[in-house]
């Protein structure tokens, strides 16, 4: 009989990949997106929690007390962020 630890190891195999794939699918459908980057030639929606989890910069930005919903980065073309 398998122990709980064995089940965790078995389940963990590609857990991170599945989570990232699902989060990207949700982002593309604009589900749970709560911030938009306005770029040189378009817009990209994102999830603050994902940005903050990846970047100390965004963590500080989103926990500063200022309610960011639209961030202007007009010097970056859309193609750079969607690749």
CA-to-CA distance for 81 and 83, rounded, in angstroms? Answer: 6
pLDDT digits (tens), the chain, 83 positions = 455 555 555 556 677 888 889 988 988 898 988 888 888 888 888 888 998 999 999 899 889 887 777 677 777 777 776 65
- R_g of the chain, CA atoms, integer Å: 17
Number of structural domains the chain divides into = 1
CA-to-CA distance for 7 and 58, rounded, in angstroms? Answer: 35
Q: What is the CATH number of the domain that holds 32?
A: 3.30.710.10
What are the tokens at 3?
């122990």
Please give the residue range of the domain that contains residue 43.
4-82
Contact (CB, 8 A) for 41 and 7: no
pTM over 0.75: no
What is the DSSP track for 1-67? ---HHHHHHHHHTTHHHHHHHHHHHHHHTTSS--EEEEETTEEEEE-HHHHHHH-HHHHHHHTSS--
């Amino acid at each position: 009989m398998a122990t709980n630890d064995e089940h965790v190891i078995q389940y963990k195999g590609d857990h991170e990949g599945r989570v990232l794939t699902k989060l990207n699918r949700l982002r593309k459908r604009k589900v749970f997106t709560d911030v938009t980057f306005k770029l040189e030639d378009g817009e990209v929606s994102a999830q603050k929690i994902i940005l903050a989890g990846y970047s100390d910069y965004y963590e500080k930005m989103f926990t500063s007390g200022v309610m960011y919903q639209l961030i202007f980065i007009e010097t970056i073309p859309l193609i750079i962020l969607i690749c």
